[in-house]
Amino acid sequence: MDLPDGTAVLRVVTASDWMRTGPTRTITIDARASAISDDGQENLDFEYQGKIEITPDVEKLFSGKEEAALEWGDCYYYTTPRIFSRSERWAWVNDAVFVAAGKLRLDKGRVTVSYRIYQVG
């Protein structure tokens, strides 16, 4: 995971998410994730909500039947992450606002989610 300012890469150590569908062709995302630096000294916690448009490609990916990918901009897939850190180095994220664009990949039955996170302002 690349940090919003592009200065570090963190490894997600735990995550959970919920995806709800309704009468429209949209998935609502509600997720949490925790990440640490390779040396274990830095941490970030993420909470994010967002939307994914249900397109034929999204249906194909979530069917799990064959490898598939949705790259940046292939469909409407955006979130509003809130980022928190107990680290002095990353304390600035506690007071910032972010938006993110997502992409998905299905490889050998496993869905991988990636985000480009942008600081607003």
Helix (H, G, I), strand (E, B) or coil at 63: helix
pLDDT of residue 9 exceeding 90, the answer is no
pLDDT at 6: 61
pLDDT at 99: 96
Q: Could you give the domains of the chain?
A: 11-119 (2.40.160.20)
Which tens digits make up the pLDDT trace of 90-103? 899 999 999 999 99
Q: CB of 93 within 8 A of CB of 84?
A: yes
Place of tokens 């799990």: 64
Which of left, alpha, beta for 108 (phi over 0: left; psi -120 to 50: alpha)? left
pLDDT at 120: 93
pLDDT of residue 8 exceeding 70, the answer is no
Q: Give the DSSP letter string of 78-113.
A: EEEEEEE-SSSTTGGGGG--EEEEEEEEEETTEEEE
For the segment 20-36, the average pLDDT, to the nearest whole number, is 92
For the segment 65-86, the average pLDDT, to the nearest whole number, is 90
Q: Which residues contact 16 (CB under 8 A, 6 or more apart)?
A: 31, 32, 33
- pLDDT higher for 32 or 89? 32
Average pLDDT, rounded, for the chain? 87
Residue 112 class from Cβ within 10 Å (0-12 exposed, 13-18 middle, 19+ buried)? exposed
